[in-house]
Structure 1
Amino acid sequence: MDIEVVKSIIDKENVRFIRLQFTDINGVLKNVEVTPEVFLNSWEEGIMFDGSSIEGFVRIEESDMYLKPNLDTFAVLPWTVDGAKSARVICDVYTPDGKPFEGDPRYRLKRMMEKAKELGYTPYAGPEMEFFILPTSEKGEPVPEFLDHGGYFDLLPLSKAEEIRRDIAIALEKMGVIVEATHHEVAPSQHEVDFKYDNFLKTADNAQTVKLVIKTMAIFHGYYATFMPKPFFGVNGSGMHVHMSLFKGDQNAFYDPNKPLELSDDLRYFVGGILKHAKALAAVTNPTVNSYKRLVPGYEAPVYISWSVGNRSALIRIPKARGQATRIEYRSPDPSCNIYLAFAAVLAAGLDGIRNKIEPPAPVEENIYHMSLEKRKELSIESLPGNLKEAIEELKKDDVIIDALGEHIFEKFVEAAEKDWKEYSTYVTNWELQRYLYL
């Protein structure tokens, strides 16, 4: 899409405001809203904003930053506020001297994709986005209660959740995101939206759009959508399983009909790299204190560092499809992560596996949750970190993942995570009051 096409859309749709969107290091979508006149006059050199107010960006004495729009992401928002139409465009962040900002998560992913390109690969991904829809109070604040008591694939006739999912799919289609499926998930009030795979960068952009639309449609219906990994005790949490493949030209590099199980060396090495770096990756793909309440046995979330062909108790699963559809499913990420950083880190781990021909252990087809500790030791199956502090300590030791994040984001990311862990460690919970108040 070029600027003339964008201008014609603005005129035809009578767009009054344009949201310049970008993402902070926590994965939170931010935006600066400008008029079409400002956008059309300044899009090429970039629109200046105050970077010191954004989590993990820059200090106040170096606050001037520039947003440069990616015109291919321009889309009219399929809703209006007071009758005025707005559009959005996803931007890259630049410094005043015209260089990409090292602390821009989107830039870190673009950098890793260039490294993949140097090796002849284009990475593709398709995430499964899980979330809960919650009721709200009279003030419009989320109430942590179930909205329904449905289960996996349940049809809830005339329920508000069905209406919300329908409107999500329609809005995303209007914004150019192809929704392949929506359905009720395992837990009460839990839902999933699956959208068409694309290259890592396009998919990350689409994922941010999907989260924006999900939250917006829920609000329009008087409800609240949360991507918190584990909002309720005793039921499944929300994950973001990511299906990934590498292509060389128009051929899937993960497929080899002449290899065992028709899985290529590239796939095995890519899996080997992810398993090698899995503990450090957890800090990026599962970045909150709450993330580790989901990663426990018994709720279909992966705990053990292993891979399988079909077995869903493993960290990495290889679906049965072959040929162009050959792929891996990485099951630990959750939707609270910064998807740009998560993709950059996972790609770095997988490419490290390919470069260094890291052989994974044999695939495990038994239910690992039912294995004894002795059996897991025999098979050398280790566990993911048990909490955010452990994950951050693993990240500090992993130069491959640190390089993927870049020094700026690594330092800010660790600083924020350690602050969260310290606050959580000293906070008195309701569980503690119920357990110990009468001692």
Structure 2
Amino acid sequence: MAQILAPSIQCQMGAISNNSLMAKPMTTKMWGSLLMNNPRLRTKSSAKFRVFAIKSENATVSRLDDLLNLDVTPYTDKIIAEYIWIGGTGIDLRSKSRTISKPVKHPSELPKWNYDGSSTGQAPGEDSEVILYPQAIFKDPFRGGNNILVICDSYTPSGEPIPTNKRHRAAQIFSNKKVIDEVPWYGIEQEYTLLQTNVKWPLGWPVGGYPGPQGPYYCSAGADKSFGRDISDAHYKACLYAGINISGTNGEVMPGQWEYQVGPSVGIEAGDDVWCSRYILERITEQAGVVLSLDPKPIEGDWNGAGCHTNYSTKSMREEGGFEVIKKAILNLSLRHKDHISAYGEGNERRLTGKHETADINTFSWGVANRGCSIRVGRETEKQGKGYLEDRRPASNMDPYVVTSLLAETTLLWEPTLEAEALAAQKLALQV
């Protein structure tokens, strides 16, 4: 039962019928229209008001939105900081809120905090305290104002990074002078699937059934082809508001599946941007009553999986003669193929089958404009002789801290033996 205010002298049975009340919920806007359009009610501006209750099958008129959208800025300098961290599975996101005495501009101005690691699978019950270190700040699109989202990583009380803290190792790699000097850029294509609640079946699909074959859904429009556009658009705007360097979005090949792109982002910022964008997407799907899935193969059979293609370039790749630098990087990547595959997401073997625009998980390959390869080089990069490469192997549930830092490590810091390099060069030459 919801409550609103109505003039007590006019809330008689003759003013509005029971049938009209029960037919649909009465919103505050509808009440305003009723008052303004009734001459008798307009003349009673001095009438006392009392609470008038309305019932309907859907429960109705709520003032929660007024409080959720309340701007407290004129009344206090305090802000709300939402501390966000990665949970025990390595893919689940957790968060909790705290009040900060004034607006902040840098994570160093924020206090460390702790949480119960035994409840997230990250610490034993007898020693459950895990410490959050604030690392990156974004504007909060849900609370607005000066409120913020805070990306954190997790440590033991003694200051050691816990096993699920992949950011710590990534930050070490990105702080290496050789990596800094090469200014690594990343453009990450995050694919995801929207599922109906309870049945956990893709949005727009008949429950227990299948839509028409793939073909008409990619970048499509129309009620019979595009499912979840409002969620995609809401996420797009929320990321722009937050300060995330989101560069685009589109409907994907499988119906109910979408993609957005983050970047170009430099170094560790790429991981921070992607994790924050995922958190925002989780919150939006929560509000929409839809389940977010980052499973790399949410539907078995003749359906595309979900990846997180990672576009990568260094300063040397972007300059004249960069194509030769790209080919050397590809050679290094071929020699560490198994290392990368093992770090590129759980369940990726169900996606990397050699079908549906993927390469086989056990075979490294590269090609120009070939989406069936492990590494794709664009036509424009080949033409210009400089540019970037696209690593198409990462799964949709990959950890962006791991993938971005591993690409930098393999192509900038790791040196193969001359023998291995020569053998790999021969194999790759046969593919071109």
TM-score (norm 2): 0.68
Aligned 1:63-82 pairs, distance under 5 A: 63-70=128-135, 72-76=136-140, 78-80=141-143
Match of 2:246 among 179, 184, 197: 179
The answer to whether 1:245 aligns with 2:309 is no
Q: What residue number does 1:46 align with?
A: 112
Whole-angstrom distance in 2 between the partners of 1:36 and 1:361:
56
- Spell out, residue by residue over 1:255-307, the C-alpha distance to the aligned partner (whole angstroms, 9 max, x if none): 4534xxx5133x2332222111111211210323xx21111122111213011
Match of 1:221 in 2: 288
SS at match of 1:21: strand
2:190 to 129, 143, 151: 129
- On the 8 A contact 2:179/2:408 being kept in 1, the answer is no
Q: Which of 148, 165, 188 is matched with 1:104 structurally? A: 165
Whether contact under 8 Å (1:314, 1:364) holds in the other structure is no
- Corresponding position of 1:23: 86
Q: 229-238 vs 14-23, which deviates more?
A: 14-23
> Which residue matches 1:415?
none
Matched ranges for 1:242-391 at <5 A: 242-246=310-314, 252-255=315-318, 257-258=320-321, 263-265=323-325, 267-288=326-347, 291-303=348-360, 304-322=363-381, 326-353=387-414, 358=421, 360-361=424-425, 379=430
Residue 169 (structure 1) shift = 0.9
Greater CA drift, 353-362 or 19-28:
353-362
SS of equivalent to 1:131 = strand
Contact 2:155 2:161 (8 Å CA) reproduced: yes
Counterpart contact for 2:366–2:431, Cα < 8 Å: no
Q: Using the TM superposition, give the Cα deviation of residue 245 of structure 1 relative to its aligned residue in structure 2, in angstroms.
A: 1.0
Aligned residues: 341
User: Equivalent residue for 2:271?
Assistant: 204
SS of aligned partner of 1:96: coil
1:105-184 counterparts in 2 under 5 A?
A: 105-115=166-176, 117=178, 120-137=181-198, 142-144=200-202, 146-147=204-205, 150-156=216-222, 161-184=228-251
Q: Is the 8 A contact 1:183 1:192 kept in 2?
A: yes
8 Å CA contact 1:105, 1:341 repeated in 2:
yes
Cα–Cα, structure 1 residues 244 and 13, in superposed 2: closer, same or farther, change >3 Å?
farther
Task: Give the drift of 1:361.
Answer: 3.2
Q: Could you tell me whether the CA contact under 8 Å between 1:93 and 1:101 is conserved in 2? A: yes
CA distance in 2, matches of 1:103, 1:114: 20
Output one character per residue of 1:382-436: Cα deviation in whole Å (capped at 9) or x when no partner.
xxxxxxxxxxxxxxxxxxxxxxxxxxxxxxxxxxxxxxxxxxxxxxxxxxxxxxx
Secondary structure of residue in 2 paired with 1:254: helix
| 1:28 aligned partner, one-letter code | D
Separation in 2 of the partners of 1:215 and 1:95?
27
Distance 1:363 1:319 in 2: 21
Asked whether the equivalents of residues 256 and 264 of structure 1 are also in contact (C-alpha less than 8 Å), the reply is no
Query: Is the CA contact 1:315–1:331 (under 8 Å) kept in the aligned structure 2?
Result: yes
In the alignment, residue 296 of structure 1 is paired with which amino acid? Answer: T
* Conservation of the 8 A alpha-carbon contact between 2:227 and 2:256: no
- 1:165 positional shift: 1.4
Q: Note the C-alpha offset of 1:103.
A: 5.0
Query: In angstroms, what is the RMSD of aligned CA positions?
Result: 3.6
Give the Cα–Cα distance (whole angstroms) in 1 for the partners of residues 414 and 73 of structure 2.
Answer: 49
- Report the CA distance shift for 1:255/1:192 in structure 2 as closer, same or farther (over 3 A): same
Counterpart AA for 1:306: S
Deviation by residue 1:309-337 (Cα, 9 ceiling, x = unmatched):
22222101111334697111000101112
How far, CA to CA, are the matches of 1:118 and 1:125 in structure 2?
13
What amino acid maps onto 1:340 in structure 2?
Y
- The answer to whether the 8 Å contact 1:43/1:68 transfers is no
Identify unmatched segments of 5+ residues in structure 2: 1-70, 206-210
| Contact kept in structure 1, 2:247 and 2:263, CA below 8 Å | yes
Contact kept? 1:253, 1:264, Cα under 8 Å = no
Q: Which deviations, in whole Å up to 9, do the C-alpha atoms of 1:218-250 show, x marking residues without a partner?
A: 33233222111111122000011100012xxxx
- Structure having the higher helix fraction is 1
SS class of match (1:296): coil
Q: Of 286, 291, 303, which residue of structure 2 is paired with 1:235?
A: 303
Mean Cα deviation higher: 350-359 or 325-334: 350-359
- Distance in 1 between the 2:263 and 2:101 partners? 34
Q: CA deviation at 1:47?
A: 1.7
**Are residues 135 and 110 of structure 1, via their aligned partners in 2, closer, same or farther at CA, if it must alter by over 3 Å?**
same
With the length of structure 1 as denominator, give the TM-score of the two structures: 0.67
- Structure 1 counterpart of 2:98: 34
Q: Does 1:92 align with 2:159?
A: no
Paired residues of 1:125 and 1:242 also in contact (CA < 8 A): yes
Q: Distance in 2 between matches of 1:133 and 1:264?
A: 41
Q: Residues of 2 paired with 1:97 and 1:216: CA distance?
A: 32
Contact 1:269 1:353 in 2 (8 A): no
The answer to whether the 8 A contact 2:311-2:388 is kept is yes
Does the CA-based 8 Å contact 1:48-1:67 persist in structure 2?
Answer: yes
**Alignment deviations for residues 154-190 of structure 1 (CA, whole Å, 9 cap, x no partner):** 1225965222211111111110123322111111211
Are the counterparts in 2 of residues 270 and 353 from structure 1 also a CA contact under 8 Å?
Answer: no
Distance (Å, rounded) in 2 between the aligned partners of 1:88 and 1:301: 35
Task: Please say if residues 307 and 395 of structure 2, whose CA atoms lie closer than 8 Å, have aligned partners that are also in contact.
Answer: yes
- Bigger RCO of structures 1 and 2 (CA < 8 A, at least 6 apart): 1
